[in-house]
Chains A and B, each alone.
Chain A
Amino acid sequence: MTKQQVLDLYFLDARHKLIELAAFLDRVERAEGKDDFRLETFRAALGELTGKKKSRAKDVLLTFSDITTEPIAKATDKGAVGAFPK
């Protein structure tokens, strides 16, 4: 696809998602109480969007990932929260 074709197909969808991100950040900042490592990681992942590299999706995923290498002692729950405390 040409750049024009990509823009024609995906610009409005990407614009919509970007505004949703902005509104999410406004919402969480308006709320009372403390945030946690998820928001810190989210902000770090946002930083991956502005670079020139063509691996932004991969780099965002890596930012949210557990990069340790040893198995944990025991699984105490089954779910994932989407970010790993650094």
Chain B
Amino acid sequence: MKYIEPHAHMVSRTTDDYERMALAGCAAVCEPAFWAGFDRGSPAGFFDYFSRLTEHEPKRAAKFGLKHFCWLCINSKEAEDVKLAEEVIALIPKFLNRPNVLGVGEIGLNKNSRNELRVLEMQVELAAKHSQLILVHTPHLEDKLKGTRLILDVLKNDKRIQPERVIIDHVEEHTVKMVLDAGMWAGMTLYPETKCTPARAIDILETCGSERLWLNSACDWGVSDPLAVPKTALEMKRRGHLASAIEKVIFLNPKKFLRQSGKFQTS
């Protein structure tokens, strides 16, 4: 079963995970820049991280026949320090032309603060100025509804942003419709405890249709499963979905969105 993992934090995972993903049919893995679980103390920490995402991690993935792509940004959890954010954002343009960089992400909000919003606007500006795709993280749990609304307002107010070149990630039942109605793509993250379970993600597909929707594991250093996408494909099969419908969600949809970068390809 061929699939694309459009959101995985492989710097946090073992090589065994790369092997298991390859064995499960993964054709490409995409890694947004994110919070490391601790705040980095300087722009140099981010420079090293961006170098790792664009130089080292593709080599690690290639050992298992996997194409590796990434997104670059400062994440919302480290966006309260606006001066640090400005210095990190200034580093990003020199990385954007690297062959595995798909765009700016995962930008967004965490606690929906004024500074987070300001840094989000700065990174939307960066993406617009450099004609980059955008991948957006929406907040967790009780903060998701408000954050998704604030994020959509920022994106819709910038007339340079083409909605079909934006993916809003971590949607759930209460946010998916507002994202799709805005003409943007929506990502469903499959987590054991928070975000969507496989069963609920398929419920959303059955009620909203599969246009502009994708599935991802967002596997990282926390409770998460790098095989969540193929496991959800298996669940779709158990529920009687046709092979062509499964292929659309786990392979063709992410491929369609990501190819807008001009760089994305599968192995």
Contact = CB atoms under 8 A, between A and B. Distances in A.
Contacts of A66: 112, 142-143, 145-146
B139 A72 contact: no
A63 to B, nearest CB: 10
A69 B142 contact: no
B235 to A, nearest CB: 9
Contacts of A80: 139-143
Contact of B174 (A65, A69, A74, A83): A65
Interface in A49-86: 55, 57-58, 61-62, 64-69, 71-84
Contacts of A65: 142, 144-146, 174
A79 B142 CA distance: 10
B113 A10 contact: no
A32 B162 CA distance: 55
Contacts of B150: 69, 71
B200 A71 contact: no
B172 interface: yes
A9 interface: yes
Contacts of A5: 239-240
Interface stretch (B66-74, B114-122, B247-255): B114-122
Contact of B113 (A55, A74, A79, A83): A74
A55 to B, nearest CB: 7
A75 B110 contact: yes
Contacts, number: 80
A58, A74, A75, A80, most chain B CB atoms within 10 A: A75
Given A1-B240, A80-B139, A73 B203 contact: no
29 contacts: A5-B239, A5-B240, A10-B199, A57-B173, A57-B200, A58-B173, A58-B174, A61-B144, A61-B145, A61-B172, A61-B173, A64-B141, A65-B142, A65-B145, A65-B174, A66-B143, A67-B145, A71-B112, A71-B116, A73-B113, A74-B113, A74-B114, A75-B110, A75-B111, A78-B110, A78-B111, A79-B140, A80-B143, A83-B142
Interface of A: 1, 5, 9-10, 55, 57-58, 61-62, 64-69, 71-84
The 5 closest A-B pairs by CB, nearest first: A75-B111, A80-B141, A65-B145, A58-B173, A80-B140
